[in-house]
Structure 1
Amino acid sequence: MAVGKLWSVTLDCAEAAPLAEFWRAALDGKIAYTSEKFVGVEIPGGPWIGAYSVPGYEPPEWPDGAPPKQFHLDLSVDDLDEAERAVVALGATKAEHQPEPERWRVFLDPAGHPFCVTNMA
């Protein structure tokens, strides 16, 4: 028996508003909640993504480093090249390390969190 269902994933960052705006635009969501340190993005048909401002935030390093990557999001897309152009236009940067770029591509969101676009789903 489940205890509950996944409602949101919250990403730490230096500034919540720009990170939330990136994910809002990338996933066609809407800003659903804002407080002093937190901005919540409601995603159609999925869980929320929250952005939470923390003092002294340091982005993870991809693929390893200090601080190490602890998790990442994977976005299912139809066309890798088209998705790459779209996320870069929104403010993502393409990671140097690309383990299997023909199957998925690694990017860093504006706060430095790694995420992938994949045509595997």
Structure 2
Amino acid sequence: MPLQMKLSAITLDCPDPLALAAFYQQATGLELHPRSNADFAGLDCEDEVFIGFQRVDGYRAPRWPEQTVPQQLHMCFKVEQDLDEVEVRLLELGAGKPDHQPHGARARVLTDPVGHPFCIVEEAD
């Protein structure tokens, strides 16, 4: 019988937890966890997965799609709005857009301000 485990948190390494939490807070509308600080910050997702950001001295950004510095983690976010509009807003917030886009028109690969790749995926009709 498999264990009954439910994912409760994902934590990303980064050089500045509060700054990276602010990027994802603006992108998702999630609330900053009240005990967030300069070493560890988080976003509360109510009954969903908590997203944490922990300070790492000497942090090196992932190199996607290369693996010279592995990506460490890849998150995907479903979006209900127009994918082009969401992409533009995320780029304004500080996201990057790699040249390599393997998913076609219904998804985009972006990178957060410290290099973690993530996807925005058009919500299926």
**Structure-2-length-normalised TM-score:** 0.87
Question: Following superposition, which runs of at least 4 residues in structure 1 exceed 4 angstroms of deviation?
Answer: none
How far off is 1:91 after superposition? Answer: 1.3
Q: Which residue of 2 aligns with 1:31?
A: 32
More divergent stretch after superposition (36-45 vs 16-25): 36-45
Amino acid at match of 2:76: D
Q: CA RMSD of the aligned region, Å?
A: 1.7
Distance change >3 Å, CA 86–CA 101, structure 1 → 2:
farther
State the distance in 2 between where 1:45 and 1:90 align: 26
How far off is 1:5 after superposition? Answer: 2.0
Q: Which residue of 2 aligns with 1:72?
A: 74
Amino acid at match of 1:71: L
Secondary structure of the structure 1 residue equivalent to 2:21 = helix
Q: Which residue of 2 aligns with 1:55?
A: 57
Secondary structure of the structure 2 residue equivalent to 1:116 = strand
Secondary structure of the structure 1 residue equivalent to 2:120 = strand
Amino acid at match of 1:7: S
State the distance in 2 between where 1:35 and 1:18 align: 10
How far off is 1:71 after superposition? Answer: 2.4
Amino acid at match of 1:65: Q
Residue among 25, 41, 44 paired with 1:42: 44
- 1:44-102 deviations in whole A, cap 9, x for unaligned? 44211111010110011111232122321111113210110121122111112111341
Asked whether 1:103 is paired with 2:106, we answer yes
Sequence identity, in percent? 39
**Structure-1-length-normalised TM-score:** 0.89
How far off is 1:120 after superposition? Answer: 5.2
Amino acid at match of 2:115: G
Counterpart contact for 1:24–1:43, Cα < 8 Å: no
The gaps in structure 2 that reach 5 residues or longer are none
Secondary structure of the structure 1 residue equivalent to 2:20 = helix
Amino acid at match of 1:51: F
Count residues in correspondence: 121
